[in-house]
Amino acid sequence: MDKNIQHLRDIDDLSADNIHDIISRAEKFSADLAQKNDVSHLHRGKVGLSFFIENSTRTRISFEMAALRLGINMIHWDSASSSLSKGESFEDTIETLAALAPDILIMRHSEYNAPRSVARFMGCPVVNGGDSYRAHPTQALLDLLTIQQAKGDVSKLKIAICGDIAHSRVARSNATLLDKLGAELHMVAPEYLMPQDVGYKNATAFTSLDEGIKGCDVVMMLRLQKERMSQGLITSDQSYFKEFGLTHARLKHAKPDAIIMHPGPMNRGVEIDDAVADDPVRSMIRRQVANGVPTRMAVLDWLLEQNKG
Ligand code: ASP
2 confidence band (pLDDT: 50, 70, 90): low
Tens digit of each residue's pLDDT (9 = 90 or more) over 131-161: 999 999 999 999 999 999 999 999 999 999 9
Count of CB atoms within 10 A of residue 18's CB? 15
Does ligand 1 have an atom closer than 6 angstroms to the CB of 223? yes
Ligand 1 midpoint to CA 309 (Å): 35
287 pLDDT above the threshold of 80:
yes
- How large is the average pLDDT for residues 256-270? 97
Least Cα distance to 130 among 72, 63, 73 occurs for 63
234 pLDDT above the threshold of 90:
no
* pTM (two decimals): 0.96
Q: State the pLDDT at residue 1.
A: 57
- How large is the average pLDDT for residues 18-35? 98
- How large is the average pLDDT for residues 233-251? 95
- Say if CB 186 and CB 204 are below 8 A apart: yes
pLDDT > 90 fraction of the chain, expressed in percent and rounded: 83
Which ligand 1 atom sits nearest the alpha carbon of residue 263? 5
Does ligand 1 have an atom closer than 6 angstroms to the CB of 169? yes
Ligand 1 midpoint to CA 45 (Å): 31
Burial zone of 256 (CB within 10 Å; 0-12 exposed, 13-18 middle, 19+ buried): exposed
Q: State the pLDDT at residue 235.
A: 85
Does ligand 1 have an atom closer than 6 angstroms to the CB of 136? yes
125's CB contacts (< 8 A; 6+ apart) are 5, 6, 7, 8, 104, 105, 303, 304, 306, 307
214 confidence band (pLDDT: 50, 70, 90): very high
Does ligand 1 have an atom closer than 6 angstroms to the CB of 142? no
User: CA-CA distance, 84 to 81, in Å (whole number)?
Assistant: 8
Least Cα distance to 191 among 178, 210, 208, 214 occurs for 208
User: CA-CA distance, 124 to 256, in Å (whole number)?
Assistant: 46
201 confidence band (pLDDT: 50, 70, 90): confident
Angle at 34 between CA 33 and CA 36, to 5 degrees: 60
Ligand 1 midpoint to CA 100 (Å): 30
